[in-house]
Amino acid sequence: MNQLPPDVPAPYPVIDPLECKSCGRCVMVCPKKVLELGDELNARGYAFTRYKGAGCIGCLNCFYACPEPNAIKVHLPAKET
Amino acid sequence: MEQVVQTRGLYKTFPRKGGAAQTATHYCPGCEHGVLHKLIGEALADLDLQDRTIVISPVGCGVFAYYYFDTGNVQVAHGRAAAVGTGISRTQNNAVVVSYQGDGDLASIGLNETLQAANRGEKIAVFFVNNTVYGMTGGQMAPTTLVGSKTITSPEGRDPVQAGYPLHMAELINQLRAPVYIARVSFSNMGKLRRARQAIRKALEIQRDGKGYAFVEVLMACPTNQKMNVEEATRFVAEQMEVEYPLGVLRDRAAEAVPIVRSESDYAKETLDRIFSLDTDRAPDAQLTPDAPTFRVKMAGFGGQGVLSMGIILARTACQAGKFVSWYPSYGPEQRGGTANCGVVMSGTPVGTPLVTASDILVAMNRPSLEKFLRDVKPGGLLLYDAAMGEVTPPAGVRALAVPATRLAQEGGSARAANTAMVGVLAALGGFDLPERAYREAITCNFAGKDAVVQANLAVFDHARAWALEQELP
């Protein structure tokens, strides 16, 4: 997996465990395969998606493919000027 | 500055949903309605259109779209989004109207209105979710179901001999001249999703600019009813739906389209009165006189005998005299020779139902009408019947008078005016207490522009009224 240099701020997704319905669309469209469905169930009974913690390139595929409005946010670092 | 990409244009929470989980949609896991909601919401927010937008929720799985869109919202009856959208657009020139509909709502029950609205080029952005199946009702065949696809109402697969072929809505609408933008999109890979995002923005930009009708068909699967996981559903869209329903922009005339500017709607009473020629002294406003008696008059006969005109003259007379009135006709499809009747209600208070089911007065111009309506005359009521039909024995308590209407009309100078003769008799015996001047003005108005006819009818009216004043009612 291509890792960005550690001194450059990396993008990352934030998945709200409660809002995920475990459909797997985000996992399916992630080009870096850094998302996975976990084993743990949320309060609504779904095995929510987790970010593996590294490797996000900020492509926003997961955000756009996710049907739940409140399940995924993606943090993008400031562009260098 | 760090940027956080998140959902916009939708509410943060969904209290209209009630119950549990007011931060989640009501959609099944894996359903792409939520994807489309997010894309529409994002575009509305980016284009700064939320305060101008009214989203129309359909009947179907999208029925609760108003839980989510942070805009104005209306939820409408099945298939009626195009009609309601037209109404909103025509009354609010600046509104951005978004119609969100599924294949049952748009392509089945609402097909007519959809095509008519497209053909009129209404200023509406239509987002049409085609998932080839009825979702909300539990997986029935849709007009868009693929040939061979199994649904609970096509358990052997859709058979075109029985059920026809998949309906191509985008192509149908592309046969019409008025639409500005027509596209078919899907989310079956990220490239297609981003093209869908652009199409959605385009449709909304066209609304922002008031340029007219935009139609975006969105292909998706229904993982629940089609019993697929999201990978199978995505393959179904890409490998089967997109073969039957090719993606692409079928039409884009946004650049050359000019904004549609319609005149401001004006529903002021004075304006409506002017449009319907009610701003004259022939149509004074009714005066509230609660103590005045209400009269319900039924008039019936052959079509062509002037039964409906007779009712109009009486209603005009009462209107002229400041009464609240209604005139309610009922007739067969034939212009002549069928049966016709009308009910006239005259009252000192606003008329509720215009139906006359129990009448104070029945005017019967032939025997079938007499037999049909005589039982509805109230005790103490009055029956006026054309003497040509022979002897009539009225029920107990009903006063009856045979009126030689045709003879009175001939004697008055117009053989065709038997109906006006009856009006003359009503004026004398009806007990309405309406001024004679009002009858004369109503007759004049009814035959306006034909002076000889007006004079002849006035003569018949006078003659019949004079005759009636000499009669004795039982």
Q: Which of B221, B252, B283 is where one domain is finished?
A: B252
- Distance, in Å, from the CA atom of B458 to the CA atom of B443, rounded to the nearest integer, reads 7
* Residue B6 domain-assigned (yes or no): no
pLDDT at A6 over 80: no
- Distance, in Å, from the CA atom of B409 to the CA atom of B420, rounded to the nearest integer, reads 8
B 25-64 near A (Cβ less than 8 A): 25, 27, 29-35, 37-39, 41
Q: Does one domain contain both B164 and B214?
A: yes
Q: Does one domain contain both B226 and B282?
A: no
A48: distance to nearest CA of chain B, Å?
11
Asked if B6's CB is within 8 angstroms of A67's CB, the reply is no
- Distance, in Å, from the CA atom of B326 to the CA atom of B319, rounded to the nearest integer, reads 9
What is the band of A70 on the pLDDT scale with cuts at 50, 70, 90? Answer: very high
Q: Does one domain contain both B247 and B287?
A: no
Q: Does one domain contain both B285 and B197?
A: no
B354: distance to nearest CA of chain A, Å?
52
> Looking at residue A3, what is its pLDDT?
60
Q: Does one domain contain both B215 and B289?
A: no
The phi, psi pair for B100, rounded to 5°, reads -115, 110
Residues B334 and B287: beta-carbon distance below 8 Å: no
3-class SS of residue B113 = helix
* Residue B129 domain-assigned (yes or no): yes
Q: Does one domain contain both B117 and B179?
A: yes
Q: Give the mean pLDDT of B243-253.
A: 98
* Residue B474 domain-assigned (yes or no): no
* Residue A2 domain-assigned (yes or no): no
* Residue B325 domain-assigned (yes or no): yes
Nearest chain B alpha carbon to A72: B6
- Cβ-based contacts of A28 with chain B (< 8 Å): 230-231, 234
- Distance, in Å, from the CA atom of B161 to the CA atom of B104, rounded to the nearest integer, reads 20
What is the band of B97 on the pLDDT scale with cuts at 50, 70, 90? Answer: very high
pLDDT at A81 over 70: no
Model confidence over B415-436: pLDDT tens digits? Answer: 999 999 999 999 999 999 999 9
Identify the bridge partners of residue B329 per DSSP, sorted by sequence position. Answer: B342
CATH number, domain with residue B412: 3.40.920.10
Give all strands (DSSP E) within B348-465, no chain letters: 359-364, 377-386, 399-403
Nearest to A69 among B2, B34, B197 (CB): B34
B58: distance to nearest CA of chain A, Å?
19
* Residue B261 domain-assigned (yes or no): no
* Residue B7 domain-assigned (yes or no): no
Nearest to B32 among A67, A70, A77 (CB): A67
Q: Which of A74 and B270 is assigned the larger pLDDT? A: A74
B208: distance to nearest CA of chain A, Å?
24
B278: distance to nearest CA of chain A, Å?
54
Nearest C-alpha neighbor of B46 from the set B204, B249, B269: B204
* Residue A81 domain-assigned (yes or no): no
A25: distance to nearest CA of chain B, Å?
7
Per the structure, how many domains does chain A have?
A: 1
Please state whether beta strands B133-134 and B124-130 pair in parallel, antiparallel, or not at all (unpaired). unpaired
Q: Looking at mean pLDDT, say which of A75-79, B132-136, B200-204 comes out highest.
A: B200-204
* Residue A4 domain-assigned (yes or no): no
- Distance, in Å, from the CA atom of B106 to the CA atom of B87, rounded to the nearest integer, reads 17
The phi, psi pair for B192, rounded to 5°, reads -70, -35
CATH number, domain with residue B248: 3.40.50.970
Nearest to A29 among B2, B5, B190 (CB): B190
- Distance, in Å, from the CA atom of B440 to the CA atom of B461, rounded to the nearest integer, reads 8
- Cβ-based contacts of A57 with chain B (< 8 Å): none
Q: Does one domain contain both B277 and B227?
A: no
Nearest to B4 among A21, A24, A73 (CB): A73
Nearest to B37 among A9, A44, A69 (CB): A69
What is the band of B281 on the pLDDT scale with cuts at 50, 70, 90? Answer: confident
B 232-271 near A (Cβ less than 8 A): 234
Q: Does one domain contain both B216 and B301?
A: no
- Distance, in Å, from the CA atom of B283 to the CA atom of B381, rounded to the nearest integer, reads 29
- Cβ-based contacts of B39 with chain A (< 8 Å): 64
> Looking at residue A80, what is its pLDDT?
67
Asked if A63's CB is within 8 angstroms of B190's CB, the reply is no
Asked if B5's CB is within 8 angstroms of A74's CB, the reply is yes
Q: Give the mean pLDDT of B256-262.
A: 93
pLDDT at B195 over 80: yes
Q: Does one domain contain both B363 and B398?
A: yes
Nearest C-alpha neighbor of B430 from the set B466, B376, B468, B474: B468
- Distance, in Å, from the CA atom of B78 to the CA atom of B63, rounded to the nearest integer, reads 9
B81: distance to nearest CA of chain A, Å?
24
Nearest to A24 among B37, B41, B230 (CB): B230
B38: distance to nearest CA of chain A, Å?
6
Task: Outline where chain A has alpha helix (H).
Answer: 25-29, 61-65
3-class SS of residue B19 = coil
Q: Does one domain contain both B390 and B429?
A: yes
- Distance, in Å, from the CA atom of B434 to the CA atom of B427, rounded to the nearest integer, reads 8
- Cβ-based contacts of B38 with chain A (< 8 Å): 64, 66-67, 69
ipTM score: 0.93
- Cβ-based contacts of A48 with chain B (< 8 Å): none
Contacts of residue B222, Cβ cutoff 8 Å, sequence gap at least 6:
B31, B131, B132, B133, B135, B139, B233
Q: Does one domain contain both B358 and B281?
A: yes
DSSP code of B151?
A: B
Asked if B29's CB is within 8 angstroms of A22's CB, the reply is yes
For residue A61, the enclosing domain spans: 12-75
Model confidence over B284-328: pLDDT tens digits? Answer: 889 999 999 999 999 999 878 899 999 999 999 999 999 999 999
Q: What percent of chain B has pLDDT over 90?
A: 87
For residue B170, the enclosing domain spans: 15-252
What is the band of B335 on the pLDDT scale with cuts at 50, 70, 90? Answer: low
Q: Does one domain contain both B246 and B111?
A: yes
Q: What is the mean pLDDT of chain B?
A: 95
Q: How far is CA B47 from CA B43, B72, B209, in A?
A: 6, 16, 11
DSSP code of B66?
A: G
Query: Which of A68, A72, A74, A79 to substitute to test the interface with B, most B CBs within 10 Å?
Result: A68
* Residue B259 domain-assigned (yes or no): no
Query: Which of B5, B11, B187 to substitute to test the interface with A, most A CBs within 10 Å?
Result: B5
Contacts of residue B317, Cβ cutoff 8 Å, sequence gap at least 6:
B423, B434, B438, B439, B441, B442
Q: How far is CA B169 from CA B110, B118, B233, B401, in A?
A: 12, 11, 21, 64
Asked if A61's CB is within 8 angstroms of B230's CB, the reply is no
Q: Which of B192, B223, B252 is where one domain is finished?
A: B252
**Chain A residues within 8 Å of chain B (Cβ atoms):** 9, 18-19, 21-25, 28-29, 44, 46, 59-61, 63-70, 73-78
Q: What is the mean pLDDT of chain A?
A: 92
Q: Tokens 């004043």 — which residue? A: B469
How many CB atoms within 10 Å of residue B50?
18
> Looking at residue A13, what is its pLDDT?
98
CATH number, domain with residue A55: 3.30.70.20
- Distance, in Å, from the CA atom of B200 to the CA atom of B338, rounded to the nearest integer, reads 55
Per the structure, how many domains does chain B have?
A: 2
3-class SS of residue B427 = helix
Q: B27 burial class (0-12, 13-18, 19+ CB within 10 angstroms)? A: buried
* Residue B447 domain-assigned (yes or no): yes
Q: Which of B185, B217, B252 is where one domain is finished?
A: B252
